[in-house]
Amino acid sequence: MTLAAPGARTGDRSGVRRRGVLRRRASAQPGAARAAGRSRPATIAVRAAGALVGLVFLLPFYYVVVTSLNSRSASASLSAILLPHWHWSNYARAWDSEPWARFFLNTVLIGSATTALVLVTSLLAGFAFGVMRFRGRNALFLLVLSVLMVPTTVLLIPDYVIATDINWLNTYWIQIIPFGASVFRIFLIRQFFLGLPTELFDAAELDGAGRLRMLWYIGVPMVRPALLVVGLNTFMASWNSFLWPLIMTTSPGVQPIEVGVSSFAGADGTDFTAMCAAVTFTTIPVLILFLSLQRQFITGAMAATGGVRG
């Protein structure tokens, strides 16, 4: 009997294993190709659905832009809805009818101040409810959340009476201070703090750091995505505010742009072409702001819901 050398047997076994791996790879390649072939139609279907949804959301804005470029007599016809007639004079008429420069200045001032206040109050309250431990924390937080159950329209008359008593009607204060704190945004920041590891704050406390120091050097950098979502959302909400300033203000010197847009609707009728022109040039700035911060906004929204930590 002839015995093979140990090295030869080892080489044979390694060759067999290598051939087995190659066979498995070869058999797996058709399956991967079939999976890729199946995923391609699904990807196309998802993209087509996304494009369709985006088109549905763009149609109202397209209608406003087309109407702003049509004549008054043709604004109700089907052809005017589909294609503009390029009446750029509507924009000049709309701009000259109201002090839009003052409206824009008021809106930016009110929105910036409101956003700054909301960021500060949401950060402090969210840190207190999410990180600090004190007696009655959960009960106090539930009390704060109960404010969400009160409809804002129910409080319009009492708020108007209070604003009259403190002489805040027709001022910037009445448009900023009541919106300087938001329960929903406090809830969002608090949830984000609850998702952070408590060991970071415990270690900082052992090192002698105070609450404000922990908030500034640990809390703020880690909740920056949520703060971005809160800031952008608050500014856009302030930009689109209409009912509150309409009731609480009467002078164009302190009114925002949404109240200026409503001036085209009067007892003698509504100038739709000029109103649509005003809506167009008052929407473009906030649209540019949102598109420029779109990536950060999406990242922040995903981080705030637990999808990404950034």
Q: What is the pLDDT of residues 55-108, one digit of tens each?
A: 888 888 888 888 888 877 665 555 566 777 788 888 999 999 899 999 999 999
Which of 59-63, 109-113, 172-176 bottoms out in mean pLDDT, i.e. has the lowest? 59-63
The whole-angstrom separation of Cα 257 and Cα 244 is 13
pTM: 0.78
End-to-end CA distance of the chain: 70
| Residue whose C-alpha is closest to residue 174's, from 182, 165, 183 | 165
The whole-angstrom separation of Cα 152 and Cα 55 is 32
pLDDT at 20: 54
Contact 130, 191 (CB under 8 A): yes
* Mean pLDDT, rounded, of the chain: 82
| Residues 6 or more apart in contact with residue 209 via CB below 8 angstroms | 217
pLDDT band at 5 (very low <50, low <70, confident <90, very high): very low
Contact 220, 128 (CB under 8 A): no
pLDDT digits (tens, 9 = 90+) for 217-255: 888 988 888 898 899 889 999 999 999 999 999 999 999
| Residue whose C-alpha is closest to residue 127's, from 235, 176, 236, 200 | 200
Question: Which of the pair, 76 or 10, is modelled with greater confidence?
Answer: 76
